[in-house]
């Protein structure tokens, strides 16, 4: 296992905005992020440029003290592809977009802008389900602790965000890999053999997570490691919902997701189908 | 059931026939079930000491009790154990038919569609070549050299079906045995281990689909529809069950778990649906086992299915119905009388070679080293219970003769036994060393 990347705070953040009722709320959320992360912001709008629209955005940016320390990119074209290109060109570390908690079946299968972006984007992405002008501070973060090379960085990001926004509780969820557990309990084993194999798996997982956590300075943050049984992706979403988490942090997908992944959901598709809270997909670029 | 009609004036009267077993037959059936279950368990536990798979013990129990040994030397005692000439055999055959349906349901539950999708191209390449090469070589050898298997065909369609079957028998893998072997060696979480598991899962799905098509085609009396139609029906059923069916199951399971007793409610519903699926596929001309297999996949994929529930279903089926099925195989043929060394060696060599080459090449193509690729080939080589089920169904469908059946069963057993030692020799040391290095690195971090 390589050493954890330090300085994972997102330095350059893009905010995808649209002229919807949530525009001001989205900009307000960006302002709060600016306070915590001290990043450079780029506001991205894809669509026709009108004087009135420019005036509206500038008013909001000025209201939230973002006018002088952020950039506004305005382009026309197909929304998703344009935003993805801008992310590449501007070398963004994080893209923020608003997303509905749940969409209709057809919309889910066809894909809304935010969800399409989350499946294709190469940088990290934050989906805000309920951006508010006056929102309460983050209290609880749930982050995945799965056996994946990306988990190291994902947990490190979770800890840094927790420190930046003074979050007291971070729950690291180890989803018991049901399939392996299922094969362990095969009738080929005696009861004590099953227990022994399960113990070995759990020990391995604990060791791995402890190693990751030991590489991070957690400060006053209370890290709680929880092991829950169920389908990876689905069970952590359910946990976040049941525990009223404010932010769910997952690894970005290992490959591009397509329609088949929506028909046969895996991992993040469970979360995307029904967002339990704000969702951050971490994808740290290699140097 | 109506008996012979009789005329009284202008009225036709039918006498009723006796539809239940006689007391003697009932005793015979229940006694057989009891003896077979207990003997199978004793033999299984004996073989477990030598780390042999369950199915080997069950098979040996049947061979010992059946015409091969007990039936040969003490036929009267063998008849007491299982009287193959009494009416109770009809009921017993019904039980074994249900057993194989339930076995395939459980096998379907073990298949994880998401893990297949998540694994990279290496696993897919391994599974693709691990399927295509044994299938193709098996087909060609069977097609052109069928007399070597003691088979003779007068119709070309039967020959094609036989060749397809033989290719399929070489292509399947035994997932539970592979999983157990990998777990025992501590290779389950290794890269090689995951590739083997995923590739075996994929090969099983395609193998059963193909076999169901073959059995379905055997039943078609007119050949105007043929292979394409049967394959189309099979795929249509699979797609419907794995999309709409899966969604319905996923939505109704939470309701059932909340409102029905546990685990009884789930057992009834899941097995009930498995039987309905099996009946449906049998009705449309595809074998019943495929219906149950696909229902199993649909259930197994549900996010609401807990490990405990899965375990209960598995234990219920594997420890009651599976032994009855595998023990009964020993009663089908005289294994010693139908043992043909040439055929057995031919089948064994083909099975090992094609799987090694296919899966090994696939793994190599996917980027594994030569040694890892060979290990993958051996890992996927185990045919186990799946190969045996294929063989018995083919025998019952009169697709193969007894000698070839015995050869395939022996091949399934030998390939299952050799997987562990081969993996141990080829890959375990290397992976242990890598793990030790990793552990040392982590321990140094803690210091």
Residue where one domain finishes, among candidates A134, A159, A187: A134
Question: Which residue ranges form the domains of chain B, and what is each CATH number?
Answer: 95-432 (1.20.1530.20)
B117 interface with A at CB cutoff 8 Å: yes
Per-residue confidence (pLDDT) for residue B51, from 0 to 100:
76
A102-A106-A108 Cα angle (round to 5): 40
Q: How far is CA B364 from the centre of its chain?
A: 28
Whether residues A1 and B314 touch (CB distance < 8 A) is answered with no
The CATH number linked to A146 is: 3.40.50.620
**A187 vs B118, B183, B315: nearest CB:** B315
| Full domain range(s) for residue A38 | 1-134
Least Cα distance to A244 among A161, A171, A145 occurs for A171
Taking the Cβ of residue B307 and every Cβ of chain A, the question of whether any pair is shorter than 8 Å is answered with: yes
What is the ipTM score, two decimals?
0.76
Kindly state whether residues A140 and A280 are assigned to the same domain: yes
Contacts B298 to A, Cβ<8 Å: none
SS3 (DSSP) at A8 = coil
- The answer to whether the CB of A249 falls within 8 A of the CB of A142 is yes
Q: Single out the residue in A84, A118, A134 at which a domain terminates.
A: A134
Predicted confidence (pLDDT) per residue in B161-197, tens digit: 899 899 999 998 887 777 777 777 777 667 788 888 8
Which residues of chain A neighbour B115 with C-beta distances below 8 Å? 179
Pair (A157, A36) in one structural domain: no
Closest by CA to B104, choosing from B282, B330, B346, B366, is B282
A81 and A147 fall within a common domain? no
Residue A285 in contact with residue A121, Cβ under 8 Å? Answer: no
Q: Are residues A51 and A126 in the same domain?
A: yes
Same domain, A110 and A169: no
CB atoms within 10 A of CB A3: 8
Do the Cβ atoms of A147 and A117 come closer than 8 Å?
A: no
* Four-residue CA torsion sign, B115, B119, B122, B128: positive
To the nearest whole Å, the CA of B178 is away from the closest chain A CA by 10
Same domain, A121 and A153: no
**Residue B163 near residue B87, CB atoms below 8 Å:** no
- The verdict on A250 and A118 lying in the same domain is no
User: Residue A98: CB partners within 8 Å, gap ≥ 6?
Assistant: A16, A18, A20, A22, A25, A26, A114, A127, A128, A129, A131
Cα B384 off chain centre by: 8
- How far apart, in whole angstroms, are the C-alpha atoms of residue B18 and residue A191? 47
Determine the residue among A188, A228, A235, A239 to mutate to test chain B binding: the one whose Cβ has the most chain B Cβ atoms within 10 Å: A188
Contact A284, A157 (CB under 8 A): yes
Residue B185: burial class (beta carbons within 10 Å; 0-12, 13-18, 19+):
buried
Question: Would you give per-residue pLDDT tens digits along chain B (447 residues)?
Answer: 455 555 544 544 444 445 677 888 888 899 999 999 999 999 999 988 887 778 888 889 999 998 888 888 888 888 888 877 778 888 898 999 899 899 889 888 888 777 777 777 788 899 899 999 999 999 999 999 999 888 888 788 889 889 989 999 999 888 777 777 777 777 766 778 888 888 888 888 888 888 887 877 776 544 445 667 777 888 888 899 998 998 888 888 888 888 888 778 888 888 999 999 999 888 877 778 889 999 999 998 888 887 788 888 888 888 899 899 989 888 888 889 899 999 999 999 999 999 999 999 999 998 888 888 888 898 889 888 888 888 988 898 888 999 999 999 999 989 988 888 888 777 766 666 666 666 666 566 544
The interface residues of chain A toward chain B in range 181-200, judged by CB-CB distance below 8 A, are 181-190, 197, 200
pTM: 0.81
Q: How many residue pairs from chains A and B have C-beta atoms closer than 8 A?
A: 83
Whether residues A247 and A106 share a domain: the answer is: no
Interface of A with B in 124-143 (CB under 8 A): none
Residues in A closer than 8 angstroms to B186, CB to CB, are: 200
Domain identity same for A85 and A191: no
Is A211 in the B-facing interface, judged by CB distances under 8 Å? Answer: yes
Which among B118, B188, B315 is the nearest to A180, CB-wise? B188
For helices B226-240 and B288-300, give the axis angle rounded to 10 degrees. Answer: 30
* Residue/partner pairs of B430-433 with CB below 8 Å, 24 or more apart: B430/B371, B431/B186, B431/B187, B431/B190, B431/B192, B432/B186
Distance separating alpha carbons of residues B231 and B244, to the nearest angstrom: 20
Say whether both A62 and A111 belong to one domain.
yes
Whether residue A214 and residue B112 make contact (CB cut-off 8 A), yes or no, is no
Across the interface, whether the CB atoms of A183 and B197 are under 8 A apart is answered yes
A143 and A235 in a single domain? The answer is yes
Domains identified in chain A, total number:
2
Domain boundary among A134, A159, A185: A134
Instruction: Judge if A146 and A128 occupy the same domain.
Output: no
Token pair 């070995």: residue: A200
């Amino acid at each position: 296992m390589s050493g954890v990347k330090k300085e994972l705070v997102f330095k350059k953040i893009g905010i995808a905005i649209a002229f919807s009722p949530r525009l001001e709320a989205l900009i307000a959320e960006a302002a709060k992020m600016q306070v915590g992360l001290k990043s450079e912001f780029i506001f991205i709008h894809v669509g026709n440029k009108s004087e009135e629209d420019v005036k509206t955005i500038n008013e909001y940016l000025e209201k939230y003290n973002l006018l002088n320390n952020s950039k506004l990119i305005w382009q026309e074209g197909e929304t998703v592809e344009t935003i993805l290109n801008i992310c590449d060109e501007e070398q963004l570390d994080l893209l923020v977009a608003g997303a509905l908690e749940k969409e209709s079946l057809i919309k889910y299968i066809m894909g809304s802008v935010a969800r399409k972006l989350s499946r294709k984007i190469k940088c990290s992405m934050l989906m805000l389900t309920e951006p508010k002008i006056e929102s309460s501070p983050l209290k609880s973060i749930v982050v995945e602790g799965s056996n994946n090379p990306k988990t190291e960085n994902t947990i490190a990001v979770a800890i840094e965000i927790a420190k930046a926004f003074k979050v007291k509780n971070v729950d690291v969820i180890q989803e018991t890999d049901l399939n392996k557990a299922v094969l362990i309990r095969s009738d080929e084993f005696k009861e004590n053999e099953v227990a022994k194999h399960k113990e070995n798996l759990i020990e391995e997982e604990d060791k791995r997570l402890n190693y990751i956590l030991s590489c991070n300075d957690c400060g006053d943050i209370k890290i709680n490691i929880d092991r829950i049984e169920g389908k990876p992706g689905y069970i952590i979403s359910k946990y976040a919902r049941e525990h009223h988490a404010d932010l769910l942090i997952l690894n970005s997908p290992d490959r591009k997701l397509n329609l088949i992944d929506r028909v046969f959901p895996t991992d993040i598709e469970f979360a995307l189908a029904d967002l339990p809270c704000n969702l951050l997909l971490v994808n740290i670029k290699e140097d | 059931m109506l008996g012979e009609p009789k005329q009284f004036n202008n009225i036709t009267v039918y006498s009723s026939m006796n539809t239940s077993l006689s007391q003697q037959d009932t005793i015979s059936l229940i006694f057989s079930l009891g003896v077979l279950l207990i003997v199978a368990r004793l033999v299984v536990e004996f073989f477990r000491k030598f780390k042999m798979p369950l199915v080997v013990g069950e098979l040996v129990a049947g061979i010992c009790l059946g015409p091969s040994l007990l039936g040969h030397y003490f036929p009267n005692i063998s008849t007491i154990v299982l009287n193959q000439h009494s009416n109770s055999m009809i009921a017993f055959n019904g039980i074994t038919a249900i057993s194989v349906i339930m076995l395939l349901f459980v096998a379907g539950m073990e298949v994880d569609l998401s893990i297949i999708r998540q694994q990279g191209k290496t696993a897919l390449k391994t599974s693709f070549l691990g399927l295509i090469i044994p299938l193709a070589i098996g087909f060609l050898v069977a097609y052109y050299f069928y007399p070597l298997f003691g088979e003779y065909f007068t119709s070309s369609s039967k020959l094609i079906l036989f060749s397809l079957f033989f290719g399929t028998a070489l292509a399947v893998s035994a997932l539970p045995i592979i999983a157990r072997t990998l777990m025992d060696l501590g290779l389950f979480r290794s890269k090689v281990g995951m590739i083997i598991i995923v590739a075996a899962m994929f090969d099983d799905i395609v193998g059963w689909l193909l076999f169901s098509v073959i059995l379905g085609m055997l039943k078609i009396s007119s050949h105007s529809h043929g292979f394409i139609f049967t394959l189309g029906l099979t795929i249509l059923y699979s797609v419907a069950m794995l999309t709409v069916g899966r969604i319905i199951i996923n939505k109704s399971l939470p309701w059932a778990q909340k409102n029905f007793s546990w685990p009884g409610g789930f057992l009834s519903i899941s097995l009930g649906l498995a039987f309905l699926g099996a009946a449906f596929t049998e009705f449309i001309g595809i074998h019943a086992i495929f219906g149950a297999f696909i229902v199993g996949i649909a259930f197994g994929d549900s996010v609401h299915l807990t490990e405990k529930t899965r375990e209960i279903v598995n234990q219920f089926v594997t420890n009651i119905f599976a032994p009855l099925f595998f023990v009964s195989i020993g009663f089908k043929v005289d294994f010693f009388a139908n043992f043909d060394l040439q055929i057995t060696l031919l089948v064994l060599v083909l099975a090992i070679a094609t799987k090694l080459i296919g899966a090994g090449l696939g793994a190599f193509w996917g980027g594994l080293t030569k040694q890892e690729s060979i290990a993958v080939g051996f890992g996927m080589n185990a045919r186990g219970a799946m190969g045996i089920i294929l063989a018995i169904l083919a025998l019952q469908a009169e697709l193969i003769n007894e000698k070839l059946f015995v050869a395939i069963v022996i091949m399934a057993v030998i390939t299952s036994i050799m997987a562990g030692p081969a993996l141990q020799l080829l890959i375990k040391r290397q992976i242990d060393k890598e793990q030790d290095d990793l552990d040392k690195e982590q321990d140094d971090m803690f210091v």
